[in-house]
Amino acid sequence: MLLLFLFLAVLLLTYSNGANDNFKGVATLWGSGTLAYRPALVLATVATFAGSVCSYFFAAELIKNFSGKGLVPDEVIQSVGFVLAVALAAGLTVLLATRFGFPVSTTHGLVGALVGAGLVAVGPAVNFAKLGSTFFLPLVAGPVLAVGLGSLLYVGLRQGRRAAGITQETCVCVGTAWVPVATVPATAYAAAPALHGAVGTAAECQTLYQGTFLGLHFQPLINGLHYASAAAMSFARGLNDTPKLLGLLLLCKFFQMPVNVLVLASAMALGGWLNARRVADTMSKKISNLNHGQGFTANLVTSGLVIFASKLGLPVSTTHVSVGSIYGIGLVNGTANSREIAKIGLSWLLTLPVAAALSAGLYAGIRAL
């Protein structure tokens, strides 16, 4: 019965992870107006599922890290009650954050839950040295690197675009086409009685690129690259996050590992499909205003850092890296919302202690029973 509860708890955690994280890979597509919400969600779901499946082949080190080995004694790791408390506490923490639209880290929730239950289980025997080197250092370094790399790469690419003669035009929607404001003929304004329009927000104004690069029109080219970077980021997130959840299923032994991967990949996809909208609003609309090229740059930085970390077996937070890259570019283009970042940062600070407290209470209750 405990094994069944553990299996269901890991499914809850995986569903919560998908709800909070799946849309982050395509947030810049929706935020920049490159793609509508529903098609962006389809792209995120497909790419994340593919990354989850591939994690079985490429991320064995992450599976070992998040089984908890080395953090607490092995005999505790083999306790179904311990792993059940960890999975349930982390899942509830992430689900609560999703309800309020905060993009938090499932990695943070898992680390907090491991510490909370570990302290109840073995007290000071928790290996805090491993906790710092394996978990905290990547979690802290990830967003800092993302802010720096996002800012620097965007400045470099912007200079390259200008040197290539690619310009930007602010456009308005005329019928079904986006038309640069500077190219609208004066006669169009003379026909005012035949025109029907309304004043939109700054976020609804499209900034499109004019010019060619290597013989190709630059705007379709950057759109295609933006789609590819969003897919790469979603793929990287599935690749990095799924092994962390697989580590919690090692005790169940209901299915062989490939089946476990497919089950968790499906639960993650379902969570993102059904419950992603609140976090999507925060990631796409509230951190920074990005155009097509800036969104592509943010995704390029995030996917590169997460894939590199996965290769090294470092459990970085895709959330932290994604928010960091978007915010870094916002600092350069002057649209960064520091008030929203402060709220997100507070949710990050609370994730770990909330998960630890829930896990400690749950494990104490399970052990008593």
- Global pTM reads 0.79
Top-confidence residue, 110 or 172: 110
Same-domain check for residues 182 and 37:
no
Number of domains in the chain: 2
Closest by CA position to 32, among listed 222, 332, 289, 209:
289
Residue 74, pLDDT > 90, answer no
**What are the pLDDT digits (tens) for 244-265?**
787 777 666 777 777 888 898 9
What pLDDT is attached to residue 97? 94
Rounded to 5 degrees, what are φ and ψ at 291? Answer: -90, -170
Top-confidence residue, 239 or 77: 239
Same-domain check for residues 46 and 104:
yes
Same-domain check for residues 119 and 266:
yes
Same-domain check for residues 90 and 186:
no
Q: What is the DSSP letter of 100?
A: T
**What are the pLDDT digits (tens) for 136-165?**
676 677 888 889 888 898 888 888 888 877
**What are the pLDDT digits (tens) for 194-218?**
444 444 444 455 677 777 777 778 8
Which conformational region is residue 33 in: left (phi greater than 0), alpha (psi within -120 to 50 degrees), or beta?
left
Which two tokens mark 208? 């499109």
Same-domain check for residues 92 and 200:
no
Q: What is the average pLDDT score of the chain?
A: 80
Residue 358, pLDDT > 90, answer yes
What pLDDT is attached to residue 187? 45
**What are the pLDDT digits (tens) for 262-320?**
898 999 999 999 999 999 999 988 998 888 888 888 888 887 887 777 677 666 777 88
**244 touches 107 (CB < 8 A):** yes
C-beta atoms surrounding 124 within 10 Å: 6
Same-domain check for residues 223 and 321:
yes
CA–CA distance, 212 with 167 (Å, rounded to integer): 10
Closest by CA position to 56, among listed 305, 315, 238:
238
Same-domain check for residues 356 and 329:
yes
Same-domain check for residues 97 and 204:
no
In which domain, by residue range, is 322 found? Answer: 2-162+217-368
Sheet holding 177-180, edge to edge: 177-180, 167-174, 206-210
| Residue where a domain stops, chosen among 178, 195, 210 | 210
CA–CA distance, 278 with 336 (Å, rounded to integer): 19
Average pLDDT over residues 346-368: 91
CA–CA distance, 98 with 167 (Å, rounded to integer): 39
Same-domain check for residues 68 and 199:
no
| Residue where a domain stops, chosen among 210, 239, 274 | 210
Same-domain check for residues 223 and 79:
yes
Same-domain check for residues 85 and 174:
no
Average pLDDT over residues 353-367: 93
Q: Residues 6 or more apart from 65 whose CB is under 8 A from it? A: 134, 135, 244, 247, 313, 315
Residue 171, pLDDT > 70, answer no
Same-domain check for residues 105 and 229:
yes
CA–CA distance, 53 with 60 (Å, rounded to integer): 13
| Residue where a domain stops, chosen among 210, 234, 268 | 210
**102 touches 344 (CB < 8 A):** yes
